Amino acid sequence: MEPIVKFFVLFLVVVEPLSLVPIFAVLSSEQDAAYRYRMASRAVLISSCICLVFAVAGAQLLRILGIGLPAFRIGSGILLFLIALDMVFARASAIRTTTTKEQDEVKSRQDISVFPLAFPLITGPGALATILLAFGEANHSWRLFLGLTLAMMLVLLLAWLAMRLAEPMMRVMGITGANVISRLFGVILAALGVQYVIDGVIGAVG
C-alpha cells in the first residue's frame, strides 16, 4: 500500500491539477461550455493513453536503452527537483511551458487538447519520469501494477475536474491562491526529488 500512496502523492504533485485551472481558463475563455468539456475530456483521454503506454512499456524501454533503475532514480530526482524550484519561486517552468511561437500557435488553434494540455501540461517529462520509475518496480506484482494504475487514473480524473471547474475555481482562489498552493506542492516535490537521488545513489553503491 505504501508504494501506491507514495506514487499517488508524487504524481499528484508533479501533474499539479490546480496549475491547469488558470491556463485552461485563459485558453478557453472565448469558448462555450461544450467546447470546454470537449477539450478537457479529450486532453485527459490522450494523457491517459500516453501514461498507460509508459506504464506498460516503460521498464522494457529502460532495458533496451541499458539504463538501470538507480541511474533513472538519480536522473528523475534531479529533474523533479528542478521542477520543484520553479514551483516554489512561482516561475514559468521551462519543462512544462511553451515557447512564444508555440503560444501564438495555440491562440489560433481550435483544438488545444493535444497541445498544450495533454503535453506538456498534464503529461510532461516529470510525469512520465515518475511513471517510468514507479511502474519499473511493479513488473512482478500485478496487484501493485493495478494499484499504481488506479492511483494514476485518479490523478488524471482530478485534472479533468480542475479543468471542468476552472471558471468557478478562478473566482474563488485567483492567481495568488494558485501560486500559494503551487509553492506548497513545490516544497513537497523538492523533498521527494532529493529522496529519489539518495535512493539512487544507495542502489548504485550497494
55 with 139: CB under 8 angstroms?
no
Residue 93 exposed, middle or buried by CB count within 10 Å (0-12, 13-18, 19+): middle
With pLDDT > 70 as the criterion, what percentage of the chain qualifies?
90
pLDDT at residue 5 tops 80: yes
Q: Rounded to whole angstroms, what are the CA distances from 21 to 36, 41, 52, 177?
A: 12, 14, 24, 11
Q: In which band, very low, low, confident or very high, does the pLDDT at 94 lie, cut at 50, 70 and 90?
A: low
pLDDT at residue 4 tops 80: yes
Query: Would you tell me how many other CB atoms lie within 10 Å of the CB of residue 12?
Result: 20
Q: Model-level pTM greater than 0.85?
A: no
Look up residue 197 and give its three cell numbers: 537521488
Q: State the alpha helices, DSSP H only, in 66-99.
A: 69-88
Cα(111)–Cα(117) distance, integer angstroms: 10
Mean pLDDT of 185-205: 89
Q: In which band, very low, low, confident or very high, does the pLDDT at 116 lie, cut at 50, 70 and 90?
A: confident
- Which amino acid belongs to residue 56? V
Residues 6+ apart with CB under 8 A from 65: none
Query: Would you tell me how many other CB atoms lie within 10 Å of the CB of residue 147?
Result: 18
Q: What is the pLDDT of residue 38?
A: 96
